[in-house]
C-alpha cells in the first residue's frame, strides 16, 4: 500500500502539534466551551459550538507554537523543554512561523465566517497578548510576568461567551477573573520546584529573583484570593448550591496544599508539595468549571 504521507512530513507535523501544547490548549478550550454553555439558557447551537471550538483551538495552538519559537534558545537550556522541536532545531523558525500562520489564519477564518467578528477579534487579541506582549515583553522583563500576562491566558470563557451571545457581559468577566487569579499559584508552584531550570534560562521568575520563601508565601496568598474569587458566581447568583459546594471543597484542598508549601520544614519538602499543587491546580480548574456547567443545568 502506498504511503499517503511522507514520513518526514508526518514527523514534522507531529512535532509542530507538540509545540501547540495540546494539554494546555485542551484546558483553555474546555473553559471556553463552558463559557459557551453558560452564555445561553438552554443548549447552544451545535454548529456554533463546534465551529467556535475549532476556531479558538486553532488560534490557541498557534499562539503556543509562537511562544515556543520565541523562547527556543531559553527552552534549550531547560531540562523540561530542551526536547521541543523548536529548542532542538528539528523544526526551523521559518517552519514554525509558517505553520502558526496557516493554523492561526485558518482559526480566524473559521471564527469570522462561521461564528462572529467579535469572537474572532477577541481571540486574535488574546493571541497577540500571549504570543507577543507576554512572551516577548513581559516574561523576560519582570518577575510579575505571570500575573500581568495571565490576563491573556484567562480569556477563554469570554471567548466562548462571545461566540454564543455576540457580547461579553459581566458574568463572563467573573469567569475570566477566576482564571486570572488561579494562574499565579498554578505557575509559581511549577516555578518553585523548577527553580534551577528557570535560573539557567535567565528568566526573572519569582523564585529566582525573590527566593523560595517569598514565592511560597505568594502562592498561599494568591490561593486565598482565588478561593474568595470562586465564591463570586454564587454571590452574584450566577450559580447555585451545587457549584458553591464544589468550589468550597476544591478550594479547601488547594488551600491545604498551599499551606503545606508555606509550612514545609525544608526545600525538599516544599518542592514535593509544590509538585502536587501544580498537578492538582490543573484538575482543580477543570473540576471547578465542570461544576459551573452542572450547576447551570441542575434545575432544568
Domain count, the chain: 2
> Do 147 and 240 reside in the same domain of the chain?
no
The residue out of 148, 166, 184 marking a domain boundary is 166
Please tell me the distance from the alpha carbon of residue 93 to that of residue 80, in angstroms, as a whole number: 20
Please give the pLDDT value at position 202: 83
pLDDT tens-digit readout, 137-160:
888 888 888 888 788 889 999 999
> Do 38 and 150 reside in the same domain of the chain?
yes
Please give the pLDDT value at position 152: 87
* Domain harbouring 186, CATH code: 1.20.120
Please give the pLDDT value at position 2: 45
Q: How many CB atoms lie within 10 A of CB 298?
A: 12
Please give the pLDDT value at position 4: 52
Please give the pLDDT value at position 295: 96
Please give the pLDDT value at position 1: 39
The residue out of 166, 181, 207 marking a domain boundary is 166
Please give the pLDDT value at position 3: 52
> Do 45 and 109 reside in the same domain of the chain?
yes
* Domain harbouring 18, CATH code: 1.10.357.140
3-state secondary structure 217-252: HHHHHHHHHHHHHCCHHHHCCCCCHHHHHHHHHHHH
> Do 105 and 210 reside in the same domain of the chain?
no
> Do 183 and 287 reside in the same domain of the chain?
yes
Please give the pLDDT value at position 208: 92
Q: What is the DSSP letter of 83?
A: T
> Do 41 and 156 reside in the same domain of the chain?
yes
In contact, 49 and 36? CB cutoff 8 Å: yes
Q: Which residues in the chain show pLDDT less than 70? A: 1-7, 299-300
Please tell me the distance from the alpha carbon of residue 89 to that of residue 73, in angstroms, as a whole number: 10
Please give the pLDDT value at position 6: 60
Q: Domain of residue 72: give its range.
A: 1-166
Please give the pLDDT value at position 261: 96
Amino acid at each position: 500500500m502506498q504511503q499517503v504521507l511522507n514520513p518526514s512530513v508526518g514527523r514534522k507535523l507531529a512535532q509542530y502539534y507538540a509545540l501547540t501544547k495540546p494539554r494546555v490548549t485542551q484546558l483553555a478550550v474546555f473553559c471556553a466551551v463552558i463559557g459557551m454553555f453558560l452564555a445561553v439558557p438552554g443548549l447552544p447551537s451545535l454548529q456554533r459550538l463546534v465551529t467556535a471550538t475549532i476556531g479558538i483551538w486553532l488560534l490557541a495552538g498557534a499562539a503556543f507554537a509562537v511562544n515556543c519559537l520565541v523562547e527556543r534558545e531559553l527552552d534549550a537550556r531547560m531540562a523540561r523543554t530542551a526536547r521541543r522541536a523548536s529548542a532542538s532545531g528539528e523544526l526551523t523558525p521559518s517552519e514554525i512561523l509558517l505553520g502558526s500562520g496557516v493554523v492561526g489564519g485558518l482559526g480566524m477564518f473559521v471564527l469570522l465566517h462561521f461564528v462572529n467578528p467579535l469572537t474572532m477579534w477577541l481571540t486574535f487579541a488574546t493571541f497577540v497578548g500571549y504570543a507577543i506582549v507576554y512572551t516577548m515583553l513581559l516574561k523576560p522583563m519582570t518577575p510579575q510576568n505571570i500575573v500581568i500576562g495571565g490576563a491573556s491566558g484567562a480569556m477563554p470563557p469570554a471567548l466562548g461567551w462571545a461566540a454564543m451571545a455576540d457580547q461579553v457581559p459581566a458574568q463572563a468577566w467573573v469567569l475570566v477573573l477566576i482564571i486570572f487569579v488561579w494562574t499565579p499559584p498554578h505557575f509559581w508552584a511549577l516555578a518553585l520546584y523548577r527553580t534551577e531550570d528557570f535560573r539557567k534560562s535567565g528568566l526573572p521568575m519569582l523564585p529566582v529573583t525573590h527566593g523560595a520563601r517569598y514565592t511560597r508565601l505568594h502562592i498561599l496568598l494568591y490561593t486565598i484570593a482565588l478561593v474568595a474569587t470562586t465564591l463570586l458566581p454564587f454571590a452574584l447568583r450566577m450559580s447555585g448550591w451545587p457549584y458553591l459546594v464544589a468550589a468550597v471543597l476544591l478550594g479547601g484542598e488547594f488551600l491545604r496544599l498551599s499551606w503545606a508549601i508555606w509550612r514545609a520544614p525544608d526545600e525538599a519538602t516544599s518542592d514535593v508539595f509544590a509538585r502536587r499543587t501544580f498537578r492538582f491546580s490543573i484538575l482543580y480548574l477543570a473540576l471547578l468549571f465542570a461544576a459551573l456547567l452542572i450547576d447551570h443545568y441542575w434545575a432544568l
